[in-house]
Amino acid sequence: MAKTVVENKEQVLVGEGRDFERIRRITGYLVGTIDRWNNAKRAEEHTVFCLRCGDRLAVERRPDSGLLAGLWQLPNTPGLLDERQAGAFASGQGLGDVRLRSARDGRHIFTHIVWTMRCYTLECSAMPPQYRWAAPDELRTEISLPTAFRQFLEDTY
């Protein structure tokens, strides 16, 4: 039902004379400007690997620029891989004999991106040097993983 107010002894329909642009300006804080719309979040898919060798977990540094720049991460690759594809990826990493321990799906929502992830926890027999092989106490005290990856550690530690 329309609401009316009295301004200067005239009845004015609330919202009358105001175009939709005003609402857009009010929500401008969502994108940092009132010059453009708050578009939907970009969607990305990633396959994450919890690579375990004994009590050690493989971690690596993210690139120095971009999302989560310079932080530690679990090894991952773009796209959602099935078990066969994940096994093929793992066999090319120098991990020795590999056994699938579990698979789990997860999701993380950033301010502008949504990551849909599938994590494979794999038991490895070798620790190739391209990863840092962190002990459980290092993961608690020295190596901080972003929340996007920490959700997968419940199955691991």
pLDDT digits (tens, 9 = 90+) for 93-116: 999 999 999 999 999 998 888 999
Q: Which residues contact 149 (CB under 8 A, 6 or more apart)?
A: 48, 73, 74
Give the C-alpha separation, 68 to 64, whole Å: 9
Render 31-78 in DSSP notation, one character per residue: TT-SSS--PPPEEEEEEEEEEEETTEEEEEEPPSSSTTTT-EE--EEE
Res 14: pLDDT: 58
Average pLDDT over residues 135-139: 93
pTM > 0.85: yes or no: no
Contact 35, 21 (CB under 8 A): no
The string of pLDDT tens digits covering residues 36-90 is 665 667 899 999 999 999 999 999 998 888 777 788 999 999 999 999 999 999 9
Res 4: pLDDT: 54
Tell me if residue 6 falls in helix, strand or coil.
strand
Contact 15, 120 (CB under 8 A): no
